[in-house]
Every structure is written in structure tokens, then in C-alpha cells.
Structure 1
Amino acid sequence: MSTAATVERILERIGHRQPKLAIVLSTGLQAVDGDIEDPTTFAYAELPGFPKSAVPSHRGRLLLGKLAGHSVALLESHEDYYRAGRVDAMREPFEVAAALGCGKVLLTAAAHSLRADLGPGRLALVTSHVMLGDPASLSHGFATRYPIDWHAAYDPVLTERLTAASARVEVPLASGCFGWGGDAANARDQGADMLGVSLIPESVIARALGMRSVAIANIIDWAPGAAPAGISPDLARQRADFGAIHLRRILADYLQHGGAD
């Protein structure tokens, strides 16, 4: 089935409720799906080209419905490069979202903090990112299909709106550089504040499709050697649950103040 056929199938079920904003949920943030009103749900397994994950925490669903009064497409989990073995694993979901009418995408990614002051349960705006290791692995994986400067990924207006939303709901929102595909020591040397295994490929695809993107990292723990003294792993795991609570509040305000426009 082609992308066009998949889009037609989805439109048959959602009618004129076409979304303007796609939201990609990473590990630990799936609770946002409970805020979607009257959702139309598709399992990734029934949509050709969508990633099939064996990770239990990855629900792998596309939800289309209302969030804070706005039509959105919720991509519930994404396939990480290190599991899929392909940097373009999210190509088809993004192409479908764009064809449905999503001109913007909010990306989220689980991340390990490299800063003692940025602990589990915190959310951080991704203001820049750094490719760790060999950049050729990214360019070769995309070939010539996505000829875009992946350094300049995130829309400043959307970033500013998210910052304003967090201030209005009084949820602290950190910011920093996201490191992709390497180890903690190398990431620190390159100026990264956090480390993860997704996000950069997704931002490349989104921009190549003409989608304006903004990104939030969900800090799930500290990278080795970054945790403050005296912090137990159990406490870190408990704090990590707050990321979804914070994101739900920020998203509601963000959409009420034009985040999907």
C-alpha cells in the first residue's frame, strides 16, 4: 500500500478532522494519550511502512483526535535507529502525517543527562544537537532523499511558544544541546548537555518534508558519572515519572495559545 493509499484509508475514518500538529511520544511520555478526546486509533502494525517494535513500552499506535480543542496526530512511540538499524525508520509515519495536513511536529526523545542540575523528571528544550561518531552514517542512511542541513533543525517561533507555555503553567523547562549516537565522555567533549539514541534522524525527515519542528527531551536518568553524589537509582526512577505530568500541562497551554497554528 502506498503512502497515498494509507492516507486515504485514514481520512475515511477521521473525515474532516485533519490534524495540523503531529506529536511524537518517546519512552515515559505515553500518558499524554489519555488527554486525546474521541481518538481514532490505528496500530502501527496495520499501517504499511510504520515501524514494528518488539519493545513492550513502545505501544506503536497512531491516534488522531482533539487535544486542548485542536486536531492532532499522536505518534505513540517511535523506532530508534539503534533498534531498527535504519536512520529513516520514521520516514513513512512522517510522510503520512504531513500528507494528512501536519505542518508542524513536536518531537520528544528520552535522554540521559550529562549535567548534575538536570535530573530525571525534567524536560528540556532541545536548542541544538551534535552528531557523535561518524556523520557519514547519517548521510549514507538518508542517501540523497533528504538533502537538508540537519544542524538547523528547530523552529525558533515554536521553541519560543513552548518556553512561554512552560512559564504560564509554572513548569520549569530546561534547555540544551542533544548528543546523538555516542558515549557520555565524547558527548561532554562535544558540548552536549544530554545524550540519546533518537531525535536527529526524525528532525532531518521532518524538515525535508517541510514540517516546522520543535523538540523536547525527557530526562529519564543521568549518564554514567553525571549524577550528583548521594542520589540513589530508586529515587531517579521515581522522579522520571514526572516528565509525562509536566508535558501534559505544557502541551495543553501550548495548544490553547496557538501551538498548532
Structure 2
Amino acid sequence: MALPLHGDCEYGWRRCKCLIPASKVEQFNCRSSYDDCKKAADWLLYRTKQRPKVAIICGSGLGGLAELIDDKTIFPYEDIPGFPTSTVAGHAGQLVFGTLQGQECVCMQGRFHFYEGYSMETVTFPVRVFSLLGVETLIVTNAAGGLNASYRVGDIMVIKDHINLPGFSGQSPLVGHNDDRFGVRFPCMSDAYDRNLRALAIEAAHEQKCGSFLQEGVYCMVAGPTYETIAESNLLKKLGADAVGMSTVPEVVVARHCGLRVLGLSLITNKVVTDYDSNEKANHEEVLATTSLRAQDLQRLVRHLITKI
């Protein structure tokens, strides 16, 4: 017998109110509309004189980037129409407008994750808002586990490409109705990470004496929140991944869909366990501890990079 389905929306998503708890229904709603994103953008534009061309998304423990911003105007996420709230340690949960090295910027001090129970559309809602604010360049940072044997804890990896494992199973923020006001139905991802921005980042790193711990490689996103098994880690290495994490890719996909240039930076906070004889275990406390040791170097790199964009 067919199960009763209710709540069809114009984009074809369906949800069963009979089977899904009310607290979880939000995850199954259709994507945020253009009007929802514009409402949030207009709300912000009305309350700040800043007109940023650069947006920065801070990963776990990297919210200190926002502290470098001058002439700050701060908006807690819960005050912004349509914004969810971050629930993960190391993510402050506020949007910071201001200037960095004379460049008008907006900084997300804390991001949202699929593993928190949010849909991919909700995770990427801020990026669409950024595009409507007039942002042209997105810098995304994250804490990641190192898969490449030559990587060391504390390395900074410039992301040259990604592997979108959730996307392989249909968990993409672009699934469903496409609004042409944001971007085309089938966006290209072969140039997801801007070549010129990557070159500028590498140049800036050497100028800031960060070259000795700089890498360039492929980032793989997994859904989380569990860390990878040894078999999974070895599989990711065979797929060509140099680092692995639980974020970033959905924001990059939506940023490129909206026509933004993207630069991605991963801070390698732990070595991924790939040996069954190892007694090492990944944990979030280690991630935050390593981040605090290298955060100033990453902040220095981003601050100098801004002058080149």
C-alpha cells in the first residue's frame, strides 16, 4: 500500500507529515527562494553602509579572521531573516561587516554544516545572500585532516580542486528547481577554484614567510559527523584526495553557480589514520588545539592576500 505523502511544493519536493517528526520537517522543505535571500540581503544593506566585494567564511577555530576587520558592524545570525544558527564548538555565529586592509569585506564567523541536520540549501543560504549584497569573491577556510603522506599538521593547503562525495549521492544544494536569477541550470565546476586567486595566495604566502608549510591539493568533502574509518581514508587517498573535511564544497558549488570567484584554504589540523596498527584517534578537540597554534599564520596570509585582490 502506498504511503500517504503531503506537502508538495512548486519545486517537486515532497514530505510525509505522517512519518517525519515536526522538528525535522524543516530539513525536507524546498530550497530558499530568491525572495527569501533578497529579504535577508536587503535587511543587511539597510543596516550597514558597507558594500563588500569580498566575503570570508571562517572554518572551525578560524573565527579570529573576523577580529582583523576594522570599523566592524556585527549581526548575530539569529537576528538576520532566514539565517540558521551554528551549533558547533569553534563557530561563533555572527556576520561581521567592515574593512580589511582597506577592502570592504563581510565575514561569516562560523558556518553551517549538513551534519547539524540542515539541508544543503540552508547550509548555502548565506552564499546566495552574499551574491545579492554585491560580493564578487569568496574566500572559504576550513580545518581538514591530512591524507597526503607528505602533509604535516599545521600545513596550509590551497585548494585546487575538490571531490564532492555527498554530491555523488544527490545531496547537492542545486538539486531541484533552478532560478536563473542566481545562475545556469548546469554550472561548470572544472574551474571551481580560481586559478589567479590561487596564484595570488601562493605569492602572498611566500611574502609572509609561510611558504615552508604551504601545500596545494585536492579537498574531499564527506558528510560527517563521524571521522573516517581506515578503509574509507585509504579509499579517499586512492581517489586523489589530499585532505578531507565536512564542509566547504556546498558553499563553493553555490558560489560558482552565482558567478563568484572562489579561493579555498584548508588548515591541516590532524593526520588522518590510515594504518590499522596505529593508536591515533581523530577528535574535534585536537582540531581546535592545532587551529589555535596556526591561526595567526592563516590570518596573516589572508590579510596580505586581500591587498592583492
The normalised TM-score by structure 2 is 0.75
For residues 80-120 of structure 1, give each alpha carbon's deviation from its aligned partner in whole angstroms, at most 9, with x where no partner exists: 22223422233321121111111110011221101243222
Deviates more, 1:17-26 or 1:53-62: 53-62
State the partner residue of 1:174. 215
State the partner residue of 1:138. 171
> Given that residues 29 and 243 in structure 1 are in contact (C-alpha distance below 8 angstroms), is that contact kept between their aligned partners in structure 2?
no
Q: How far apart are residue 13 of structure 1 and its match?
A: 2.2
Q: Which residue identity lines up with residue 246 of structure 1 in the other structure?
A: D
Change in 2 beyond 3 A, CA 1:174/1:215: same
Change in 2 beyond 3 A, CA 1:39/1:82: same
Change in 2 beyond 3 A, CA 1:88/1:152: farther
For residues 175-202 of structure 1, give each alpha carbon's deviation from its aligned partner in whole angstroms, at most 9, with x where no partner exists: 1111111731221110101111111111
Matches within 5 A, 1:61-80: 61-80=94-113
Ranges in structure 2 where 5+ consecutive residues have no aligned partner:
1-34, 179-184, 223-227
Moved over 6 A (4+): 229-237
Q: Distance in 2 between matches of 1:87 and 1:42?
A: 23
RMSD: 2.6
1:202 aligns to 2:251 (yes or no): yes
Q: How far apart are residue 124 of structure 1 and its match?
A: 0.4
Matches within 5 A, 1:37-52: 37-52=70-85
For residues 51-72 of structure 1, give each alpha carbon's deviation from its aligned partner in whole angstroms, at most 9, with x where no partner exists: 3222232211110001111100
Q: Which residue identity lines up with residue 188 of structure 1 in the other structure?
A: K
Change in 2 beyond 3 A, CA 1:22/1:9: same
1:159 aligns to 2:198 (yes or no): yes
* Structure possessing the higher relative contact order (Cα contacts under 8 Å, 6 or more residues apart): 1
For residues 222-251 of structure 1, give each alpha carbon's deviation from its aligned partner in whole angstroms, at most 9, with x where no partner exists: 11137xx99998998754323311111111
SS in 2 for 1:142: coil
Q: Distance in 2 between matches of 1:53 and 1:232?
A: 25
The normalised TM-score by structure 1 is 0.87
> Given that residues 75 and 95 in structure 2 are in contact (C-alpha distance below 8 angstroms), is that contact kept between their aligned partners in structure 1?
yes
> Given that residues 120 and 173 in structure 2 are in contact (C-alpha distance below 8 angstroms), is that contact kept between their aligned partners in structure 1?
no
1:149 aligns to 2:188 (yes or no): yes
Change in 2 beyond 3 A, CA 1:238/1:59: closer
2:241 paired residue among 182, 186, 192: 192
Q: Distance in 2 between matches of 1:41 and 1:119?
A: 35
Which of 1 and 2 has greater Rg? 2
Q: How far apart are residue 131 of structure 1 and its match?
A: 2.7
How many residue pairs get matched? 255
Change in 2 beyond 3 A, CA 1:95/1:116: same
Change in 2 beyond 3 A, CA 1:83/1:202: same
1:129 aligns to 2:129 (yes or no): no
Q: How far apart are residue 29 of structure 1 and its match?
A: 0.8
Ranges in structure 1 where 5+ consecutive residues have no aligned partner:
none
Q: Distance in 2 between matches of 1:180 and 1:235?
A: 19
State the partner residue of 2:40. 6
